[in-house]
Amino acid sequence: MDYIIKRLSGLSDAHTKFDLISPIPINFKMFDNEILVNYPLELKGSKLLSINDYNMDRVINELENVITYGTLGKRRYEIEKSLFNRYVLFGLPLFRNSEELTFKIEKLDGTIIEKKFNRNDTYENELFSSNKYLYGNNCEYKFIDNCLIYNHSSVQKKFENKIMEAINKLQNEDLTNIDTIIIDLRGNLGGNSTLNKPLMNFLNENKDKQLICLTDYRVFSGGRYALRDLIKLGAITIGEEISTPLNCYGNSNYLNIDKYYFSVSECYFHPFLGFSAESKEEFQKEVTERLLKPMIFKPDILINETKEDYINGIDTILNYAIFYSKNNLRKM
């Protein structure tokens, strides 16, 4: 089955994947091939050394056989997600015959500890918030140094009312002293791309403001449509590369194969050329080399989150965007 998924995947199809999750109460952030604890908070920044005494290079090599990705950013995200998913971990040859996972962790003070997770325990009272992990502070906004910073971290259908409420509230704010609008797109894994429209309408009504868009390795699927719209509105993009080529397969549907759930792409999109194909026949008839050539997004200003800033709770990308806003306005 791993080989089938790898054949279906590729640079332009990171939607096709095994997509069943059973979490354990720990999650991680990856910097290069170094794995740092993100949750629980008391261990934040600690380094994951091994699982069941297998070093992390060995574990990551096995994960490479089951995750799908089109960019290095998507690889990073899928490895992070796999490391708290017992279905993936206990399915690896390394751990398939184990009843327990022992995570060896080096704390910031150098102390070595172990966290053990049983194959069958649910850990209901210890789990992190999946909503917070996946969607962050979606639809929230704040004002810093004459900047309006709006979090647009999901367009999942369940956020439709919250998106409308947030935009209505924004429309009633006094933005007279606001010079720059920063749209924080980081973590936007997609959903229903039509839910980008209320935000774009609001921005069209405020074209006198400098517009900045923040990106990271988790922007995916419908999130890239928001990115396209923001670029067309003249946004300066600051941050990291995203999780997918701008043109790719999408519109996930789910298949149950022997009681295993797989996310499978149903369409092919090129948002900048206005092309979409929703059937094999349409795709074969209309597709061209130009449409298929991967369109890799490069931010105007490439800023990567640093490990040190992450450990210290400093937002590398947002801080640079605010700095850039001030300096750019002085030059205008």
Residue 299, pLDDT score: 97
pLDDT over 90 percentage in the chain: 65
Quote the CA–CA distance of 298 and 311 in Å, as a whole number: 26
Q: Which tokens sit at 330?
A: 């002085």
Taking residues 99-105, report their average pLDDT: 98
Taking residues 197-214, report their average pLDDT: 97
Encode 86-107 in three state secondary structure.
HHHHCCCCCCCCCCEEEEEEEC
Per-residue confidence band for 49, with pLDDT thresholds at 50, 70 and 90: very high
Write down the residue that tokens 């950013």 correspond to: 73
Residue 327, pLDDT score: 86
**Using a CB cutoff of 8 Å and minimum separation of 24, what contacts does 73-78 make?**
73/216, 73/217, 73/218, 73/240, 73/241, 73/242, 73/243, 74/14, 74/217, 74/220, 74/243, 74/244, 76/30, 76/217, 77/217, 77/218, 77/220, 77/243, 78/17
Per-residue confidence band for 5, with pLDDT thresholds at 50, 70 and 90: very low
Counting DSSP H helices and E strands in the chain, the numbers are 12, 16
Q: Which tokens sit at 234?
A: 């003249």
Quote the CA–CA distance of 328 and 324 in Å, as a whole number: 6
193 has pLDDT over 80:
yes
Closest of 242, 213, 177, 188 to residue 324, by C-alpha: 213
Q: Which tokens sit at 157?
A: 């259908």
Query: Residues in the chain, how many?
Result: 332
Quote the CA–CA distance of 212 and 332 in Å, as a whole number: 15
User: Domains of the chain (ranges plus CATH)?
Assistant: 2-128 (2.30.42.10), 133-246+296-331 (3.90.226.10)
Residue 181 burial (10 A CB sphere; 0-12, 13-18, 19+): buried
Residue 170, pLDDT score: 97
Residue 244, pLDDT score: 82
pLDDT over 70 percentage in the chain: 89
At 309, the amino acid letter reads: D
pTM above 0.85, yes or no: yes
The three-state secondary structure class of 118 is strand
Quote the CA–CA distance of 278 and 309 in Å, as a whole number: 43
Q: Which tokens sit at 162?
A: 């919250």
Per residue in 221-256, pLDDT tens? 888 889 999 999 999 999 999 988 888 776 666 677
Q: Write out the E strands in the chain.
A: 17-18, 27-31, 34-39, 47-51, 54-55, 100-106, 112-118, 141-144, 147-151, 180-184, 210-215, 236-239, 248-257, 260-270, 275-277, 301-302
Quote the CA–CA distance of 147 and 320 in Å, as a whole number: 13
Taking residues 41-50, report their average pLDDT: 97
Q: How many CB atoms lie within 10 A of CB 290?
A: 11
Q: Which tokens sit at 174?
A: 């006094």
β-pairing verdict for 147-151 and 141-144: antiparallel
Residue 251, pLDDT score: 63
Per-residue confidence band for 280, with pLDDT thresholds at 50, 70 and 90: confident
Residue 264, pLDDT score: 66
Taking residues 153-170, report their average pLDDT: 95
First-to-final CA distance of the chain: 57
